[in-house]
A = this chain, B = another copy of it.
Amino acid sequence: MAPFARVAIIGLGLIGSSLARAVKGLMPGVALAGFDRDPGVREAVARLGLVDEVAPSPADAARRADLVVLAVPLGAMRAVGEAVRDALAPGALLSDVGSSKQAVIDALFDLVPAGVHLVPAHPVAGTEKSGPEAGFAALFTGRWCILTPPEGTEPEAVSRLADFWTRLGSRVEVMDARHHDLVLAITSHLPHLIAYSIVGTASDLEGVTKAEVIKYSAGGFRDFTRIAASDPTMWRDVFLMNRDAVLEMLARFSEDLSALQRAIRWGDGDALYRRFEASRAIRRAIIDAGQDTDAADFGRTHPDAPEPGPERGRP
């Protein structure tokens, strides 16, 4: 039996629409309601048949649902929480998919009605694409989903949500929200910030043209542009909402980069070699942990991912 009978998803972008697809595919008995504030997205979701009911408002989607998932940017959590609070049924579980968790607790904790369980969640999965057309059901397969229940949450509510994500193919971990924010600051937020930054540096040089940067990007730069193509609204909110942890990690990164800079300036080949050699061990550990593969496609080919467009400019 599925752990919930009626699921509402508010926000139907990449993550929300992938969640809808996964629930439809893996929990066929579950009634699925959805809302997005963009009428074009609502239309696309209806056309694609991703939910049973496209609701006219967040409250209408949430009404009678025993699980309500907010899949909106972090900066919109509070407003959407206010929009659904009166529609939340007693015993219902309110969750989300945001990348920063203390901010979600801060936004929602005081407005959750008595008898409703708040269990924030973060599926650590995504692509650089946005919108409901970019979603796919297998996005969460084999990926971690981190639950960060506030102190005092009923254990049974946490178990139900863990069961839900496990059935969607995820591996579930429960963690303190602040610790989550620290871990994600280094594994996700800082890499994105750096990628955004170097793309800016490259597009603003006088000695090298933008056309040259694009032309010769295969040497490493293009991997950064992929990360830096992620949704700007979502990422703006992540950095504003996880400020302290990101600034802390950024300071450490800058120190370490300065040490490499110094080694280059002084021709210290041994220091460079030691640093480069050590990083290979980390890569090997990530592959062994199943979070990436050695395959040419890095395991990113999902059986039901949307068909890519034709490759252009390649023989």
Least Cβ distance of A253 to chain B in Å?
5
* CB proximity to B under 8 Å, residues A210-266: 210, 212-230, 232-233, 235-237, 239-240, 243, 246-247, 249-250, 252-254, 256-257, 260-261, 264-265
CB proximity of A59 to chain B, nearest CB, Å? 27
Chain A 90-119, CB-CB to B under 8 Å as 1, else 0, gives: 000000000100000000000000000000
A305 and B299 in contact, given A202-B187, A236-B276, A264-B239 (Cβ under 8 angstroms): no
- A217 to chain B: which residues have CB within 8 Å? 187, 286, 289, 291-292
Complex CA gap A261/B283 in Å reads 27
Q: How many copies does the complex hold?
A: 2
A220 in contact with B192 given A240-B272, A291-B214 (CB within 8 Å): yes
In the assembled complex, the CB of A98 is this many whole angstroms from the nearest CB of chain B, namely 13
B276–A289 contact, CB under 8 A?
Answer: no
Separation of A261 and B144 alpha carbons in the complex (Å) = 28
Q: Which residue of A141, A143, A235, A311 has the most chain B CB atoms within 10 A of its CB atom?
A: A311
Distance between Cα atoms of A39 and B116 in the complex (Å): 69
Bound CA–CA A198/B99 (angstroms): 20
Q: Are A182 and B208 in contact (CB under 8 A)?
A: yes
- A164 on the B face (CB < 8 A): no
Roughly how many angstroms separate A293 CA and B164 CA in the complex, as a whole number?
34
A253 and B286 form a contact (CB under 8 A): no
Return chain B residues, CB-CB under 8 Å to A141. Answer: 314-315
Minimum Cβ distance to chain B for residue A6 (Å): 27
Given the complex, which residues of B lie within 8 Å of A126, measured CB to CB?
219
Contact indicator B247/A261 (Cβ below 8 Å): yes
Cβ contact within 8 Å between A232 and B277? yes
Q: Which of B252, B264, B312 contacts A288 (CB 8 A)?
A: B312
- Is A308 at the interface (CB under 8 A from chain B)? yes
Bound-state CA distance A277–B283 (Å) is 30
Interface residues, chain A, CB within 8 Å of chain B? 75, 99, 124-126, 128, 141-144, 146, 169, 173, 179, 182-184, 186-205, 207-208, 210, 212-230, 232-233, 235-237, 239-240, 243, 246-247, 249-250, 252-254, 256-257, 260-261, 264-265, 267, 269, 272-273, 275-280, 282-302, 305, 308-309, 311-315
